[in-house]
């Protein structure tokens, strides 16, 4: 890649573009960046490059002749057969983007960047010699040098060999319409802020998924205009994007989560939550909570015995659980394993959250409330069961310290699967 920058300040521009990565690439001959003094091509003794504008106005305008003579010299000095593009750095040009950088890097071998100054350049030079006008944004600079340096840098780093690996730029902000994921280095904890745990576990697949997710979330937060324009085709990306959108639409737990014994007035909300859970299980083909179970009579049974609890957030019932201190007959017939010990235990029967609270962290809070209630009853063991295909519940139990103990069979309606997986958690003594 050959880049010639036509400027009135070649020393300043040259000093910046021949340092660091671009400087090393230039020494290796991968890129050739040269700054050309426009003033050297004037045709008057004063080396004058500008004059007053016709029609009056503020400032001076750069004359067409020095610019054209400078451009002719630049083209004459370049090797023949190069794919060339003459670009004028102008606040009236098209906004510069990463896609523009890709196009210039891949489609051309020789870029000539023209830096205006003062009040701009004679329009006839633009009409006669310029292929394209580029702007860094909707603002005005004193000259085009800063813009030219930005274009040169962004184009050259895409040239093979300038960076150590293609991944050095394909994973960066704007490459595929997304912002880059956050980066961290040592120390692991700084000013009380820790590096995300996923980056410390050595699971490369999880790291890549986390980083991709962060790109979606950062773009949505910082550049919603870019986020709305995303046009993805990769199935994994589309799935991850839907997860991000779904989770962003979920309720935030901005108020305390409380637990209290359920009341008669809570039953309509609990029945609605149970209906949502039943529908979800049916959709996932999990043979659990079907054919109208749990019904109002089941909730009233728990309510009358003081075993039904409402989990509340923001003044509404967000979930429920039933916790019994009575022994469960079906648990005595455990197979393919055994309970840890023959000790008194609490049984977690029915529990569910309203659909809008899924993925908010409320499920973990519910499990903590179950433990608190068991402790309040003087018990140090909680047992429960779930269907073998109810993977979310199994995961929730494992993540909250429950261990799989074996299989049991429960009473269900005709034509339904009675097999359940049994789980248990021994609660530690509090000091």
pLDDT at 431 over 60: no
Q: For 303-314, write each residue's pLDDT tens digit.
A: 999 999 999 999
Tokens standing for 33?
């960046």
- Give pLDDT, residue 42: 96
Percent of the chain beyond pLDDT 70?
99
Query: Which two three-digit tokens encode residue 37?
Result: 């003094």
**pLDDT at position 395:** 93
Low-confidence winner among 162-171, 302-311, 315-324, 401-410 (lowest mean pLDDT): 162-171
Nearest to 125 by CA among 63, 53, 64, 51: 64
Per the CB < 8 A criterion, the answer to whether 337 and 422 are in contact is yes
pLDDT tens per residue, range 11-51: 999 999 999 999 999 999 999 999 999 999 999 888 999 99
Q: How much is the pLDDT for 149?
A: 98
- Paired tokens of 17: 């573009």
429, pLDDT greater than 90: no
Fold held by 257-426? Aminopeptidase (3.40.630)
Domain ranges of the chain: 2-170, 189-248, 257-426
Distance, in Å, from the CA atom of 85 to the CA atom of 395, rounded to the nearest integer, reads 58
- The average pLDDT across 108-132 equals 96
Residue with structure tokens 């001959």?
29
pLDDT on residue 245:
85
Instruction: Report whether pLDDT(428) > 90.
Output: no
Q: Quick one: average pLDDT of 62-68?
A: 97
Structure tokens at 230: 């995303």
Q: Please name the residue ranges forming H helices in 130-203.
A: 145-156, 167-170
Label residue 334 by pLDDT band (50, 70, 90).
very high
Query: Where do the H-state alpha helices sit in 223-380?
Result: 224-228, 235-248, 267-283, 296-304, 362-376
Q: What is the pLDDT of residue 208?
A: 94
CATH of domain 2-170: 3.40.1280.10
Phi-psi region of 177 (alpha: psi -120 to 50; beta: other; left: phi over 0): left
User: Does the pLDDT value for residue 430 go beyond 60?
Assistant: yes
pLDDT of residue 199: 93
Angle at 243 between CA 237 and CA 246, to 5 degrees: 140
Q: Which CATH architecture has domain 189-248?
A: Orthogonal Bundle (1.10)
Report the alpha-carbon distance of residue 169 to residue 158 in Å, rounded: 7
Mean pLDDT score, 274-295: 95
Query: Is the Cα torsion angle 181, 184, 189, 192 positive or negative in sign?
Result: negative
User: Is the pLDDT score of 171 beyond 70?
Assistant: no
Average pLDDT over residues 133-140: 96
Q: Does pLDDT of 288 surpass 90? A: yes
pLDDT value, residue 102: 96
Please determine, for residue 172, whether its predicted confidence score (pLDDT) is greater than 80. no
Q: How many CB atoms are located within 10 Å of the residue 427 CB?
A: 15
> DSSP secondary-structure letter at 354?
-
311: number of Cβ within 10 Å: 26
């Amino acid at each position: 890649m050959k880049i010639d920058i036509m400027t009135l300040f070649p020393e300043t521009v040259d000093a910046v573009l021949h340092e660091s990565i671009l400087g090393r690439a230039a020494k290796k001959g991968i890129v050739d960046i040269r700054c050309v003094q426009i003033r050297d091509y004037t045709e008057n003794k004063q080396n004058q490059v500008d004059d007053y504008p016709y029609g009056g106005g503020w400032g001076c305008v750069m004359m067409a002749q020095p610019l054209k003579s400078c451009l002719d010299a630049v083209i004459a000095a370049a090797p023949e057969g190069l794919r060339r593009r003459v670009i004028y750095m102008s606040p009236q040009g098209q906004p510069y983007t990463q896609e523009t950088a890709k196009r210039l890097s891949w489609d051309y071998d020789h870029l000539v960047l023209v830096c205006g100054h003062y009040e701009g350049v004679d329009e006839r030079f633009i009409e006669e010699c310029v292929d394209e006008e580029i702007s860094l944004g909707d603002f005005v600079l004193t000259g085009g040098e800063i813009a030219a340096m930005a274009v040169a840098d962004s184009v050259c780093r895409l040239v093979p060999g300038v960076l150590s690996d293609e991944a050095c730029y394909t994973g960066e902000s704007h490459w595929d319409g997304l912002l880059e994921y956050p980066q961290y280095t040592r120390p692991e904890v700084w000013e009380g802020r820790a590096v995300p745990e996923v980056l410390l576990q050595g699971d490369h697949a999880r790291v890549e998924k986390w980083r991709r997710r962060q790109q979606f979330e950062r773009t949505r937060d910082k550049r919603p205009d870019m986020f709305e324009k995303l046009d993805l085709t990769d199935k994994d990306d589309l799935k991850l994007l839907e997860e991000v959108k779904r989770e962003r639409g979920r309720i935030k737990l901005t108020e305390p989560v409380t637990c209290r014994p359920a009341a008669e007035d809570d039953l309509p909300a609990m029945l609605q939550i149970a209906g949502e859970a039943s529908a979800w299980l049916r959709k996932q083909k999990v043979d659990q909570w079907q054919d109208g179970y749990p019904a109002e009579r089941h909730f009233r049974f728990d309510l009358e015995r003081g075993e039904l609890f409402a989990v509340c957030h923001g003044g509404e019932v967000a979930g429920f659980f039933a916790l019994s201190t009575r022994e469960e007959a079906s648990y005595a017939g455990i197979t393919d394993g055994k309970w840890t010990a023959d000790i008194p235990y609490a049984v977690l029967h029915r529990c569910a959250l309203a659909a809008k609270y899924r993925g908010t962290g409320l499920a973990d809070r519910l499990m903590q409330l179950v433990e608190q209630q068991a402790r309040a009853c003087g018990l140090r063991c909680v047992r429960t069961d779930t269907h073998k295909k109810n993977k979310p519940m199994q995961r929730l139990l494992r993540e909250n310290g429950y261990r799989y103990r074996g299989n049991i069979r429960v009473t269900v309606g005709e034509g339904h699967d009675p097999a359940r997986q049994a789980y248990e958690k021994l609660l530690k003594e509090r000091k």
